[in-house]
Amino acid sequence: MNSFILQRYYKLLDEKENPKSDDAEKIKKEREYQDHLLAQKLLRSDNNRPITRRGITPSKVTKKKTTRKLGRTPNTAFNAELVLSPQLQEVVKSERMSRPQVVKQIWTYIKANNLQDQLDKRKIHCDEKMRNLFKKLLVGMFEMNKLLGDHMYKDGEIVNGNGKRDISDEDNDDEEEGEATFHDESDRKDVKQEQVSEESEISDVDE
């Protein structure tokens, strides 16, 4: 799991160091796909727990610890803490978390409250808190990871209506037009076009 997170970290860092290849839509799809893979690993690890028989004590295998030196310190945008929406805070019980932490905590909540569909564990039955978060009675893994992106934002961003907007942009609008507002549909569309979304999943999950 750590190697998976580190691989994603290096990929995001490389994208940051090479702005010429930065395509917002590709970055969005890649992040959503990586979040989906993380959700898959969490689901598989829960389903593949070893079964031990009574009376048999498994022998302990001592593994030699190896220290791997990292050339870079894992302090990246991937692991950076984000501000969470009030609805998401109700579920994960924290005001700030990194993206991987949010995904893990969401799945911890889902399993603790037995919200997975018994026939298809990729489908989640929403309780009251999850309904406030996703506005749905039933949500799939693909859709859930995508919707979570609307509830996480960086310092300096604000959430108004259905879009994210940088506070500095709002200040510029105040100077030019007096007051910034998102009440008009045209404003909402402009905000959505400017925002760089957070994540999504592409492949199916093994049951």
Tally of domains in the chain:
1
pLDDT band at 25 (very low <50, low <70, confident <90, very high): confident
d(CA 204, CA 123): 11
- pLDDT tens column, 143-170: 988 999 899 988 887 655 444 555 444 4
Q: Is residue 53 part of a domain?
A: no
Q: Is a pLDDT exceeding 60 seen at residue 36?
A: yes
Which of left, alpha, beta for 33 (phi over 0: left; psi -120 to 50: alpha)? alpha
- pLDDT tens column, 66-125: 666 555 545 576 788 899 999 999 999 999 999 899 999 999 999 999 999 999 999 999
Could you list the residue range(s) of the whole structural domain that residue 182 is in? 24-46+76-207
d(CA 68, CA 153): 32
Q: Is residue 70 part of a domain?
A: no
Q: What is the mean pLDDT of residues 60-69?
A: 64
* Confidence (pLDDT) at 173: 47
Tokens 């979570």 identify what position?
148
Q: Is residue 62 part of a domain?
A: no
Q: Is residue 197 part of a domain?
A: yes
Q: Is residue 69 part of a domain?
A: no
Q: Is residue 182 part of a domain?
A: yes
- pLDDT tens column, 114-146: 999 999 999 999 999 999 999 999 999 889 889
- The CATH number of residue 99's host domain is 1.10.245.10
Three-class SS of residue 107?
helix
* Confidence (pLDDT) at 179: 37
Q: Is a pLDDT exceeding 50 seen at residue 181?
A: no
* Confidence (pLDDT) at 177: 41
Query: Running DSSP on this structure, what letter comes out for residue 205?
Result: P
* Confidence (pLDDT) at 204: 41
Three-class SS of residue 83?
strand
Greater model confidence, 82 or 20: 82
Pick the range with the lowest mean pLDDT from 42-51, 76-85, 171-180: 171-180
